[in-house]
Amino acid sequence: MVDTPTADNRREPDISHENPASREEWFGHPRQLARLFTTEMWERFGYYGMRALLTLYLTKHFVLGDHAATGLYGGYTALVYLTPLIGGFIADQYLGSKRSVKFGALMMALGYLTLAFGGHPSQPFATIAGQRYEIQIDNFKDRPSSAANEQRFLIDHGKRFGLKGNDDGSVGLIAADGSVARTIPKGGLVDGSDKSPLMVMILLIALSMISIGNGFFKPNISTMVGALYDQTDQRRDAGFTIFYMGINLGSILGQFFCPILADWLGWWAGFSLAGVGMLVSYLLIQFDGGRLAGFGETPERPGGDKSLVIYGLAILAIPLFYFLFTNLMNTPAPVPGSGIIGYIASLSLMGKLLFGTFLIGVPGILVWSFIKGSRQEFQMMVAAMVLVVFNVGFWTLFEQAGSSLTLFADRNTDRSVFGLFTLSAPQTQNFNPIAIVILAPLMSILWSMLARRGLEPSIPVKFGLALMGVGAGFLFLVFGSQFAGSDFKVGLGWLAGLYIIHSVAELMISPVGLSMITKLSIARIVGLMMGVWFLSISVAQYFAGAVAQVASVETVGGQVTNLKVSLATYTHTFTIIAWVAIAAGVALLLLSWPLKKLMHGVK
């Protein structure tokens, strides 16, 4: 048994063999935290800057249409959360965290810079009764936020006709004198675009590189932060809190500056800036001046260094990811009336793999726990799995931020800030990280105050409140839509209110999720349970894309022809998912009492 220092036998540690510089601190923490904080900040700058632009890039530059664009966005973010499971294992066994972070940073930087090579915008067209018509865009600047005077015209025998969607789904062709020259019945006008196969291929290769690079970077930068502290070091939680602020700071800066550059110069500039941020992240690790020596080094294994083999395999995985993306884009929609079986059958290969793994893995682990674990361990695992399932529901709705909510901001939101300036649609995503930075300390104080009084909610109650909160955010926006002006645009404050409410909900579930897994899991499979947790978020990202597809709006050449119909579509979808979330939250609150018993005192 090791002696624990007490008031009587406490001894000063022997530091005669230590380099005094290694004991330098940064705000009371190991000085290496500053380097890792800045590295993560620039990585998140690139990631969130690119993410802010992606959905609008797909709908405006490539003119994919809402259904295809939001589905591709969901598949991409699903892979972003899935690949860290493999990247963490590779770092632990072969590469070490530091080399994994370097390689991941380079892969993501190349991915962002590859996105900048988007070529000329796709040429939109419309098909009516089997005949194809060119769609001409006036004042088009290839920008993420449509200019106020940007208009689409259908060209018929040299004549230009404006496009106006009607409430019944039909589309009117408007002549130069303002009269309706022709009315196309609902479904009679089919939107399309001529896309360069080469440019689409470059797009999907770029997304594949980013997904793979993220798998190497994301889990291992956090591992390096953890390595700065001994297991008993009480500064560990505070260190991760500082690190978490770096994530949000990078998010705020990326989502602010990348859209600005995209607006001024074009999409290529916004994505290039994200790539520059990622390169800065790489340089901070590559040229660390020895500050990170001894942290995240390559583990010694028999057989020698296998890094080149791993790098080669990662590059060879790009075609596999490319195949998954192309399969996702080419998968037809489910047949109406086919039910849940038809929906599952119609899923892309990526969706089937994610859904199938989760559907088999969760009960499989519970069966194993029942056979191998004690009665108490099994009950704790049941509680963990119930929370994991509800976690999927939360993130499915929360992650509408990058897809349907961004499109809503672009189309049906008056983004003027007190008449002083106007935010672009991607910049509205910044309300979330800004709210997190402001509210996180306040929430921490609140939980501490409640804990001292024995009133802090249990983990299931926090999860339930989070689900109700994400639903309440959507209802807040739906309520605000009643005050939309004659242009069918909602005031920016209502969208900001949604993000603030969602941020409060996020703070109820996100910080406690990983901690919950470590506390409730059987010790010998805690790593596997961490994998299941991230798998649940990956599944949620995929289904977030599916939910956004439900909110798809008919467009011509990437622009909505009837903002009234657009507003009604979004508010209808948001109302449904809001009440589903609230119902799920209420159900979890009712389950909180039996779950608390199954958790056997875990808080």
Q: What digits encode the pLDDT tens for the residues 378-428?
A: 999 999 999 999 999 999 999 999 999 999 999 999 999 998 998 999 999
At residue 93, the pLDDT reads 82
- C-alpha dihedral sign at 457, 460, 463, 468: negative
**Cα separation of 338 and 377, whole Å?**
40
- Alpha carbon 452 to chain centroid, angstroms: 35
pTM, to two decimals: 0.87
pLDDT, residue 1, reads: 40
For the chain, the maximum distance between any two Cα atoms, rounded to a whole number of angstroms, is 97
Lowest mean pLDDT among 106-110, 382-386, 464-468, 521-525: 521-525
Kindly tell me the burial class for residue 150, based on how many C-beta atoms sit within 10 Å of its own C-beta (0-12, 13-18, 19 or more): middle
Whole-number Å distance between alpha carbons of 508 and 534? 17
pLDDT confidence band for 184 (50 / 70 / 90):
very high
pLDDT value of position 148: 54
Which of 544 and 223 is assigned the larger pLDDT? Answer: 544
| pLDDT band for position 237 (cuts 50, 70, 90) | low
Q: Are 585 and 398 in contact (CB under 8 A)?
A: no
Residue 158: C-alpha distances to residues 134, 154, 172 (Å): 10, 10, 18
Beta carbons of 425 and 145 less than 8 angstroms apart: yes
pLDDT exceeds 90 at position 525 = no
**Crossing angle for the helix pair 267-286 and 97-115, nearest 10 degrees?**
160
Write down the pLDDT at residue 136. 87
With cut-offs at 50, 70 and 90, classify the pLDDT of residue 8: very low
Whether residue 168 contacts residue 186, with contact meaning beta carbons closer than 8 Å, is answered with yes
- pLDDT at residue 73 is higher than 60: yes
- Cα 201 to the center of its chain, rounded Å: 23
Q: Mind listing the pLDDT tens digit for each residue in 14-62?
A: 443 444 344 567 767 788 888 888 999 999 999 999 999 999 999 888 9
Mean pLDDT of 478-489: 94
Check whether domain 25-119+196-330 has CATH 1.20.1250.20, yes or no: yes
The answer to whether domain 25-119+196-330 and domain 351-603 are alike in fold is yes
Q: Is 541 a residue whose pLDDT tops 50?
A: yes
Residue 578 sits at φ, ψ, to 5 deg, of -65, -50
Does residue 493 carry a pLDDT above 90?
yes
Backbone angles phi, psi at 179, to 5 degrees: -80, 155
Topology of domain 351-603, per CATH?
Growth Hormone; Chain: A; (1.20.1250)
What pLDDT does residue 337 have? 64
Contact between residue 544 and residue 431 where contact means Cβ atoms under 8 Å apart: no
So what's the pLDDT on residue 3?
A: 43
Is residue 342 scored above 90 in pLDDT?
no
Who wins on pLDDT, 289 or 209? 209
Q: What is the pLDDT of residue 274?
A: 97
Going by their DSSP bridges, the two strands 413-414 and 490-491 should be labelled as: parallel
pLDDT of 86 higher than 50: yes
Cα separation of 321 and 209, whole Å? 9
Say what the pLDDT of residue 28 is: 77
Cα angle 53, 54, 55 (rounded to 5 degrees) comes to 105
Q: What is the pLDDT confidence band of residue 229, given thresholds at 50, 70 and 90?
A: confident
Give the residues across from 163 on adjacent strands: 173
Give the residue carrying structure tokens 């790009």.
318
CA-closest candidate to residue 393, choices 339, 340, 327, 468: 468
Helix (H, G, I), strand (E, B) or coil at 100: helix
Residue ranges of domains in the chain: 25-119+196-330, 123-194, 351-603
- Alpha helices by DSSP H, listed for 317-458, are 318-330, 339-345, 349-372, 375-398, 404-412, 431-452
| Integer Cα distance of 59 and 64 in angstroms | 5
Tokens 């109700």, residue located: 468
**Distance of alpha carbon 424 from alpha carbon 567, whole angstroms:** 18
Chain centroid to Cα 178, Å, comes to 43
Q: Which two structure tokens, joined as six digits, stand for 572?
A: 């209808």
Rounded to whole angstroms, how far apart are CA atoms 544 and 65? 17
Taking only the tens place, the pLDDT of each residue in 576-590 is: 999 999 999 999 999
pLDDT given for residue 470 in this prediction? 97
pLDDT, averaged across the chain: 86
pLDDT tens-place string over residues 90-128 = 888 888 888 899 999 999 999 999 999 988 888 899 999
User: If you ran DSSP here, which 8-state letter would residue 304 be given?
Assistant: -
pLDDT at site 32:
84
Q: Are strands 123-128 and 29-30 parallel, antiparallel or unpaired?
A: unpaired
Give the closest residue to 116 by CA, choosing from 193, 198, 199, 16.
Answer: 199
Q: What is the signed CA dihedral for 5, 11, 14, 19, rounded to 10 degrees?
A: 80
Query: What is the average pLDDT across 308-331?
Result: 93
- Does residue 9 register a pLDDT over 60? no
Q: Is residue 221 within 8 Å of 129, Cβ to Cβ?
A: no
Checking if the pLDDT of 4 tops 70, the result is no
Question: Are the beta carbons of 97 and 223 closer than 8 angstroms?
Answer: yes
- Is 481's pLDDT higher than 90? yes
Whether pLDDT at 6 is above 70: no
Angle at 224 between CA 223 and CA 229, to 5 degrees: 95
How far, in whole angstroms, is CA 425 from its chain's centroid?
16
pLDDT at 512 over 80: no
**How high is the pLDDT of residue 519?**
80
Determine the 3-state secondary structure of 491 from DSSP. Answer: strand
Examine the pLDDT at 64 and tell me if it is beyond 60.
yes
Instruction: Tokens 């550059």: give the residue.
Output: 261
Burial class (CB in 10 A: 0-12, 13-18, 19+), 34: middle
